[in-house]
Structure 1
Amino acid sequence: MSTTTTEFPSPSYGGWLSKTEAWLDSRGKGAWIAAMVLGFIFFWPVGLALLAYMIWSKRMFKKSCRNRHAFRSNHWNGGLHQSTGNSAFDAYKADTLRRLEEEQRDFQAFLERLREAKDKAEFDQFIDDRSRRAAQPGQDAEAS
């Protein structure tokens, strides 16, 4: 007499939920946002639950502004300074990149000077207004 035992898969807590979460994670933040929007469209509590989960699990803030600059510099600099094998193009690319970086530094310096000039003009205007207001009550008292 042979007894065969049928093994059933153990019920994992949230099996389909964890698979869905992994599937959305593999597609990125856009998939999470799309799922949330669709949840709001079809049944608002689902969209609200997805929004709460995204905020609670920090999925909304994975790629924040703090990381964008680091990503941009690592991503772009890695590919920009690699040789293509064409020496003429590499020389042109290096010259163009050097020129663009120089222009960017010059433009940043210009913006800084512009901000400083604007700040100085606003401060001078404030001081002038303040000195005029201080001088007015003295003139009013002399006129009386």
Structure 2
Amino acid sequence: MSTPATWFSSTESWLDERGKGAWLAAMILGFIFFWPVGLAILFYMIWSNRMSGSFFCSRSSKSAARRVSNTQSSGNAAFDAYRDDTLKRLEDEQTAFQSFLQRLRDAKDKTEFDQFMNERARDVAAPSSPEPKTV
């Protein structure tokens, strides 16, 4: 017989494997069928940091590392070395890609900020003249 803690843990793992979309779908369905359930899922997602993108990226790389450490040797040293090298290369590519995305976000933020400052400077430099009074 499964306990509620076991059921909750297995449900959490199942949703984690399917990603952010599954968590969002569960939350929306919770709101549709019984709003306190949706609210509880939302609070849990915020509390456990599941709303941020970094949770899913870090979780997947941790699970990949766990799978590698849990795998036994295939008996073929060349294959094991190839597998380890490939997984290392994929982790490096993931890190490089996440770094690229962060630089892209930073550049976009800077562009938007510069545009805001230019518009503000233009508005300050050219004050609106009062409309002529008609008598």
Q: TM-score, normalised by structure 2?
A: 0.51
Give the RMSD, CA atoms, in angstroms.
Answer: 4.0
Aligned partner (choices 102, 116, 128) of residue 126 of structure 1: 116
Asked which structure has the greater CA Rg, the reply is: 1
For 1:43-82, what aligned pairs fall within 5 Å after superposition? 61=44, 65=50, 72=60, 75-81=63-69, 82=71
Q: Which runs of 5+ in 2 are unaligned?
A: 13-32, 131-135
Aligned partner (choices 90, 93, 103) of residue 93 of structure 2: 103
User: CA 1:97–1:61 in structure 2 vs 1: closer, same or farther (change >3 Å)?
Assistant: same
Q: What is the identity, as a one-letter code, of the residue corresponding to 2:93?
A: E
Quote the Cα distance in structure 2 between the aligned partners of 1:69 and 1:106.
13
Residue 76 of structure 1, CA deviation: 3.2
Quote the Cα distance in structure 2 between the aligned partners of 1:26 and 1:129.
56
Q: What is the identity, as a one-letter code, of the residue corresponding to 1:124?
A: D
Quote the Cα distance in structure 2 between the aligned partners of 1:76 and 1:133.
53
User: CA 1:110–1:69 in structure 2 vs 1: closer, same or farther (change >3 Å)?
Assistant: closer
User: CA 1:61–1:124 in structure 2 vs 1: closer, same or farther (change >3 Å)?
Assistant: closer
Partner of 1:36: none
Residue 98 of structure 1, CA deviation: 1.3
Quote the Cα distance in structure 1 between the aligned partners of 2:75 and 2:101.
38
Quote the Cα distance in structure 1 between the aligned partners of 2:63 and 2:97.
23
Q: Is the 8 A contact 2:61 2:91 kept in 1?
A: no
Residue 105 of structure 1, CA deviation: 1.4
Q: Is the 8 A contact 2:74 2:80 kept in 1?
A: yes
Residue 84 of structure 1, CA deviation: 2.5
Quote the Cα distance in structure 1 between the aligned partners of 2:93 and 2:126.
49
User: CA 1:129–1:76 in structure 2 vs 1: closer, same or farther (change >3 Å)?
Assistant: same
